Chain A
Amino acid sequence: MQASNLLFIIIALAVFGYFSGYGRSLRVAKPLGSISKLHSLPSYYAMQTAIWVALPALLLMAVWLLAADSITHAYIMRGFEQVTATSDYNLTLNRIINVASGALPGAGQSAEIVAAAEQLQQIGATQQWALTVLVLTLCSAGGLWSWQRIKADFRARAAVEGMLQKFLLMSASLAILTTLGIVLSVLFESIRFFSTVPITEFVFGTSWSPQTAIRVDQIGSSGSFGAVPLFTGTLLISAIAMVVAVPVGLMSAIYLAEYASPKFRRSAKPLLEILAGVPTVVYGFFAALTVAPLIRDLGSSFGLDVAAESALAAGSVMGIMIIPFISSLADDVITAVPQSMRDGSLAMGATQSETIRNVVIPAALPGIVGGILLAASRAIGETMIVVMAAGMAANLTANPLDAVTTVTVQIVTLLTGDQEFDSAKTLAAFALGLMLFIVTLGLNFLALRIVKKYREQYD
């Protein structure tokens, strides 16, 4: 039986379990007089029966679906011990799977593969039967067990709430698991990468050309993995973005918070925030097809030689993307400055702009700096704009009119396309990911620390 059909059956059985549990609790209550003689409301007895029907079966199914394929594949591939290289192994395995599923005609294949495919088909069929039988057994066993437990003094509510509590805790802990997953996935691959390329070469090397040759005797077969040009490229584009976004975002936040009429604020703020909702791939398209040619034409009319994929184009569009990010964060901290401080300054004869510059901004500064750091971390990790509008070649330059490449661009180019998973090229992407993760994490921590440490409590 198909997994999805099985899922429906489990759900149907759980619903059935609910109602039979409900009925039994009513029957238990009847001789006692009323349901108030039961420890819990009937729905709790029903719910606990339903949970016992579905939960064990679902868990079994999940484990089965995750593990079964790899176990069967390993079993099938026993006969192919001479195939050792990972890519050949996968190729053979795929061929067997395709023959078994009928996507590939078995006629042209070797006898071994056809035999293995037949075996795979058999195992697959047996497995599905076994899973169906096991799941149905578990459903009925769990249901029956919890059904017979329904007694007047059975603390069903406590049981259900206990399970619910566990679910809540597990959901909250998923955040920890995710972080752990990120750290483990980038860390392990990076360690493997650093065992082939020394970490010092990666962090301090100035030449980046990850194109490893297919044959060993070709020129440049080793590739070079000095990531400094990527770091400078990322910094250059992020710096351009911040140059655009910080003044515009900050000034618009100040104007909206301090000067604008409530009516203007109500209409201008959501309009500005549209910029935050536009997908980055749209900005990338805009940067590559509209802004980059514009900047190049503008440059050539001044006699400047501008690259087609200049850092300026990608950076300025990224800056536009970040404007609402800075302005809404700055807006929050500016409006949080108490009115009494403004009133005091105005009463001393300061103009409004003097009040803002000398009183409001200094009071809001920790929050503003924190917001700018968060925006910087977003700029560094931004991917689509630079993938579409920045260059591929790693140039070590500080000229915003040249094409530079960034960490995220390289991750995307290294990991899209066909390659073996174990090559230094692919592993390099994970090392870059590790760098990116560390830097953004550091910036976020710094931002939070600054906000916490230097925030003045006024109220």
Chain B
Amino acid sequence: MTESNPSPHRSAPVDHSATIKASLKRRYRAERRFRWYGRAAIAFGLAAVLVLFVDIISKGHGAFKTTHIAVPIHYDLDSLGIDSINDNQQLALANWDALFKSGMRQLLPEASGRSQRRELYRLISNGAGYDLKDRLQANPQLVGQRERIWLLADDDIDTYFKSLRDGEPYTARVSDQQIAWIDQLYASGDIATRWNRNFFTRGDSREPEQAGIWGAVMGSLFTLVITFALSFPIGVAAAIYLEEFAPRNRFTDFIEININNLAAVPSIIFGLLGLAIFINFFQVPRSIPLLGGLVLTLMTLPTIIITSRAAIKAVPPSIREAALGMGASKHQMVLHHVLPLAMPGMLTGAIIGMAQALGETAPLLMIGMVAFIVDIPGGFSDPATVLPVQIFLWADSPERAFVEKTSAAIMVLLAFLIAMNTTAVWIRKRLERRW
């Protein structure tokens, strides 16, 4: 009996330590490899953030300055072809381009012949005449005076002049003659990049050097005001109902299923809804911030409801019980006690929802907010476009100068988003109470 059942320890002493050591080594190697996969994944994600931002900023920083040429202007009514500057009809028909054309001839007198002259005038932006008109209308005492004024250069000149500094001049759209003139102007200090005020004060334009984002910013503002005014009260009310009042029944479950599904519906579907219901059925005009706000409200509501519910849930039940115990009605308990305590969380959610709405493009394309709109919208029912759609429109434009503009507009949009998200985080940190 004793021989037939030998204890394993007694049997031939096989040394396992070598295999164990080998397998341990293998396992530790796998462990290290696994950690490196994790680090690589994080590094990839962070690199993507970095590359994205560096790419946008390196493309867009140039747009905040734009090339100007200093032109001597003589505000001479004869060359304008008018006899009074108080007559608006005459002003509208006057030959405003003549002012800077004669100035350019004075600046570079060696240009002669029709084709050379035409190239000479093309150094200056198409809209420069209107800028001069605005200036003269604002300062009527300038009539008959002379001054040296910095006029916007054409976008091709701007692109070339800025590319000079990178060492790789982009000469595809400027002639040799124009290059020579630019050199000459540069030597005399009459061409320089200056702060691009137009970019922040104007609406869209077909001429890249004249185009600005102010119209789109105002459009976004009007749209967001509508979105916030509708989605915040409705979202909070829905969250209060679901958290505090809703009976546990099929109907409540159905509401919750709908909210969760809407949160995951692609945004473009909301655009289809806006097109079919608001535009075709209710005959709301296209392209107006009111309509955009309605569509974005429906889109952001699920986000706001979900975050508001979380904020209400975070208020401890003891607060409710204390209020009810003191004789408050259920509505008083919610309105006077739960809601104020949940407000910071709700506001955080609302700001995040607004940031989402500010960056949204696809549904707005469906409801006609892609129109080319020069005027700056002044109200909720003026045709408008919004910042992300403006980015989309410029990104589609063939002119090279629009690449810079697009990136700069993206920088502005990202700045708004960062500001909103920082505010949300700040509100959460400062005002939210932990129980």
Contact = CB atoms under 8 A, between A and B. Distances in A.
Contacts of A341: none
A429 B355 contact: no
Interface in B77-112: none
Contacts of B361: 279-281, 383-384
A129 interface: no
Interface of B: 27-28, 30-31, 34-35, 37-42, 44-46, 48-49, 52, 55-56, 59, 233-235, 237-238, 240-242, 245-246, 254-255, 258-262, 264-273, 275-277, 280, 282-283, 298, 301-302, 305, 329, 331, 355, 358-362, 365-366, 370, 388-389, 391-392, 395-396, 403, 406-407, 410, 413-414, 417, 421
A169 interface: yes
Contact of B255 (A175, A189, A283, A412): A175
Given A275-B45, A324-B45, 20 more contacts: A161-B329, A172-B237, A175-B238, A175-B301, A182-B273, A248-B41, A250-B41, A279-B358, A280-B362, A281-B389, A286-B55, A353-B35, A378-B266, A381-B267, A384-B361, A384-B362, A388-B392, A412-B268, A415-B271, A429-B272
B158 to A, nearest CB: 19
Contact of B42 (A268, A288, A408): A268
Contacts of B261: 179, 441, 444-445
Contacts of B358: 279
Given A182-B272, A280-B362, A275 B48 contact: yes
A408 B266 CA distance: 10
| Interface SS majority for chain A | helix
A52 to B, nearest CB: 18
7 contacts: A168-B238, A182-B270, A185-B275, A255-B39, A282-B359, A351-B27, A354-B27
Interface of A: 66, 69-70, 157, 161, 164-165, 167-169, 171-176, 178-179, 181-182, 184-186, 188-189, 247-252, 254-256, 259, 268, 271-272, 274-275, 277-286, 288-290, 320, 323-324, 327, 351-354, 356-357, 374, 377-378, 380-384, 387-388, 408, 411-412, 415-416, 421, 429-430, 433, 436-437, 440-441, 444-445, 448
Nearest to B50: A271
B31 A440 contact: no
Given A164-B331, A248-B41, A274-B49, A285 B264 contact: no
B395 A284 contact: yes
Nearest to A439: B266
B42 A256 contact: yes
A181 B56 CA distance: 38
B387 to A, nearest CB: 9
A286 B56 contact: yes
A161 B240 CA distance: 13
A286 B362 contact: no
B254 A176 contact: yes
Contacts of A445: 261
Instruction: Report the 7 A-B pairs with minimum CB-CB distance, sorted nearest first.
Output: A381-B266, A255-B38, A279-B359, A185-B276, A251-B41, A171-B237, A353-B34
B203 to A, nearest CB: 19
A388 B266 contact: no
Nearest to B252: A172
Contact of B395 (A188, A250, A388): A388
A369 B329 CA distance: 45
A173 B255 contact: yes
A383 B389 CA distance: 13
Contacts of B266: 377-378, 380-383, 408, 436-437, 440
Contact of A181 (B237, B277, B280, B362): B277
Nearest to A324: B45
A436 B269 contact: yes
A189 to B, nearest CB: 6
A268 B42 CA distance: 8
B146 to A, nearest CB: 41
**B254, B331, B396: most-surrounded residue (chain A CB, <10 A):** B331
Contacts of A175: 238, 255, 258-259, 262, 301-302, 305
| Interface SS majority for chain B | helix
A433 B272 contact: yes
A164 B336 CA distance: 14
Contacts of B241: 168-169, 171-172
Contacts of B362: 280, 383-384, 387, 408, 412
Contacts of B28: 351
B269 A381 contact: yes
Given A353-B30, A356-B34, A323 B48 contact: yes
Given A172-B242, A254-B38, A353-B31, A284 B272 contact: no
A297 to B, nearest CB: 15
B40 A178 contact: no
A178 B30 contact: no
Contacts of B272: 182, 185-186, 411, 415, 429-430, 433
A248 B49 CA distance: 14
Nearest to A384: B361
B38 A251 contact: yes
Contacts of B35: 255, 259, 353
A181 B298 CA distance: 11
A176 B258 CA distance: 6
A335 to B, nearest CB: 15
A70 B301 contact: no
Contacts of B260: 444, 448
B391 A285 contact: yes
A188 B265 CA distance: 19
Nearest to A250: B41
Contacts of A172: 237-238, 241-242, 246, 255
Nearest to A353: B34
A412 B365 contact: yes
A381 B359 contact: no
A174 B269 contact: no
Contacts of A324: 45
Contact of A171 (B238, B276, B406): B238
B234 A171 contact: yes
Contact of A430 (B245, B276, B417): B276
A409 B276 CA distance: 19
Contact of B45 (A189, A252, A433): A252
Contacts of A357: 34
**B259, B360, B362: most-surrounded residue (chain A CB, <10 A):** B362
Contacts of B269: 182, 186, 381, 433, 436-437, 440
A70 B283 contact: yes
Contact of B366 (A181, A377, A388, A415): A415
Given A280-B362, A285-B410, A271 B46 contact: yes
A79 B40 CA distance: 73
Nearest to B27: A351
B42 A272 contact: yes
Contacts of B45: 248, 252, 271-272, 275, 320, 323-324, 327
A175 B235 CA distance: 10
Contacts of B283: 69-70
A448 B259 CA distance: 13
B227 to A, nearest CB: 14
A237 to B, nearest CB: 14
Contacts of B245: 165, 168-169
Nearest to B390: A281
Contacts of B305: 175
B16 to A, nearest CB: 14
B413 A352 contact: no
A312 B289 CA distance: 36
Contacts of B414: 278, 282
